[in-house]
Amino acid sequence: MATPTLDKTDKAEAGFADSPFITATFRIRRFNPEVSDEVQWQDFQIEIDPKERVLDALHKIKWELDGTLTFRRSCAHGICGSDAMRINGKNRLACKTLIKDINPDKPITVEAIKGLTVLKDLVVDMDPFFQAYHDVMPFLITKGNEPTRERLQSAEDRERFDDTTKCILCAACTSSCPVFWNDGQYFGPAAIVNAHRFIFDSRDEGGEQRLEILNDRDGVWRCRTTFNCTDACPRGIEVTKAIQEVKRALITRRF
């Protein structure tokens, strides 16, 4: 890889025609309650390398065009789960979405995730989301005395819930769910995924309690298997499958 300085001279010599940069339009849904109760779409045209990510484009807009643009991001590498947003109508992480993969010929729409209250621009109130997560008790529950050594587990037992350990709590799944848009009381896919992670853990003894919580009218039975959550998950978790496994565990009481 060339050094930044070399890169610059290369570009200058090659001229504009060979530039990797393209002009892309970002149509962003803006909301600022301090200025107006109205929501509006605002277009930004920027020069950007299509191999860059949507998050880079948002940075460019915020740093160079409009400092008031508000969004969350922390690690910027798909681990912290801060920058879930709706890009071209679908929930994705802005830091894992390359511009070339979402057709930059047309305006790229960016809006906040659905079903949670928008606080400003792309920032939503995540409290109801995390409340549902807390309600399924996402921690190890055991009975009896603490063992004197670590709790051992076979590779097969670990494999049983491997898929649901990958969750980063970005809310892309929960806010893609039509049932959740309609009624925020529904636990939502993310909470069920994290309950699944403990229900099917052989070391955990709180499975019955968690299943009872999810047997509630706002629990797993509200899932309508639309598969939006599975399609939206940036970690590739088979969310609908996990929910189905919890449903089946509730009926068979085998987990």
CB atoms < 10 A from the CB of 153, how many?
Answer: 13
Sole window of 47-55, 147-155, 158-166, 220-228 interacting with other proteins (rule: CB under 8 A):
220-228
Sole window of 56-64, 83-91, 127-135, 142-150 interacting with other proteins (rule: CB under 8 A):
83-91
Q: Identify the DSSP state of 195.
A: H
Sole window of 10-18, 141-149, 196-204, 236-244 interacting with other proteins (rule: CB under 8 A):
236-244
Q: Does 120 help bind other proteins (rule: CB under 8 A)?
A: no
Least gap, CB of 97 to other proteins (angstroms): 13
CA dihedral sign of residues 82, 84, 85, 87: positive
Binding mask 167-206 for other proteins (x = CB under 8 A): ---------x-x----------------------------
Q: Does 230 help bind other proteins (rule: CB under 8 A)?
A: yes
Own/partner contacts of 60-69, CB < 8 Å, gap of 24 or more, are: 61/26, 61/28, 68/32, 69/28, 69/30, 69/121
Q: Which residues contact 238 (CB under 8 A, 6 or more apart)?
A: 163, 230
Please choose, from the candidates 231, 222, 225, 220, the residue with its C-alpha nearest in 3D space to the C-alpha of residue 255.
Answer: 220
CB 246 within 8 A of CB 195: yes
> By CB under 8 A, how many residues form the interface with other proteins?
27
Q: Does 40 help bind other proteins (rule: CB under 8 A)?
A: yes
Nearer to other proteins, 206 or 229 (CB): 229
Nearer to other proteins, 111 or 204 (CB): 111
Sole window of 7-15, 134-142, 148-156, 238-246 interacting with other proteins (rule: CB under 8 A):
238-246
Binding mask 133-172 for other proteins (x = CB under 8 A): ----------------------------------------
Rounded Cα–Cα distance for residues 49 and 60 (Å): 12
Nearer to other proteins, 161 or 206 (CB): 161
Strands (E), 70-211: 84-87, 90-93, 108-111, 118-120, 123-124
Least gap, CB of 245 to other proteins (angstroms): 8
Q: How many CA atoms lie within 13 A of 146 on its CB side?
A: 4
Indicate the residue type of 182. N
* Residues near other proteins, by CB under 8 A: 29, 38-41, 86, 88-90, 109, 111, 114, 176, 178, 224-228, 230-231, 238, 240-241, 244, 247-248
